[in-house]
Structure 1
Amino acid sequence: MNDVPTADPFRATDWFKSSYSAADNECVEVSCVSAWVGIRDSKALARNLLIVSADSFAHFISSLSVARSGPESLGTAGRADWH
């Protein structure tokens, strides 16, 4: 696995939030840089961000889908599509 990048590459990228987020910007945003995902609090942009591997983030999203829909929601792919 590659070394975890610093926050610098994430500063120049686009950030995305869930379509389920409220209009008052109280949500979590994500950004992808290479094989990494940056996660930040939209109401505290000056704070540090969390950087995880894309595989770990996909597993996390998949686990949310399973918790919501049950294990049968994984299907044959074994994880939810988060792109």
Structure 2
Amino acid sequence: METAPDPRKAVWRKSSYSNGEGGSCVEIADGLPGIVPVRDSKTPDGPALTFRAAHWTRFVEALRGGSL
């Protein structure tokens, strides 16, 4: 039986596009197989959205490619 990754063990990192001036900041968590949690860095105790890793990869590729 496979168990789900535990998001409480997430190691969060801020987007390289975030600045130190309190602007819009996104953090993602690494190290959780198959999923990518995403949250607002200004509210670290708030909710996080969780995406399947493959879907997150396609989203980021679309951003980089200019199709979004």
Which category of TM-score, normalised to the shorter sequence, fits these structures? 0.7 to 0.9
Alignment identity in percent? 30
Give yes or no for the alignment of 1:19 onto 2:16.
Answer: yes
Secondary structure at the aligned position of 2:11 is classed as coil
Q: Which has the higher strand share?
A: 2
Higher-Rg structure is: 1
Structure 2 CA distance for aligned equivalents of residues 23 and 58 of structure 1: 26
Query: What number of residue pairs does the alignment pair up?
Result: 64
| Unmatched segments (≥5 aa) in structure 1 | 71-83
Query: Using the alignment, how far apart are the partners of 1:39 and 1:54 within structure 2?
Result: 11
Q: Over aligned residue pairs, what C-alpha RMSD do you find?
A: 2.3
Q: Is the 8 A contact 1:25 1:42 kept in 2?
A: no
Segments of structure 2 that go 5 or more residues without pairing to the other structure are: none
Counterpart amino acid of 1:14? V
| Alpha-carbon distance in structure 2 between the residues aligned to 1:20 and 1:39 | 15
Larger helix share, 1 or 2: 1
Q: TM-score, normalised by structure 2?
A: 0.76
Return the TM-score normalized by structure 1: 0.64
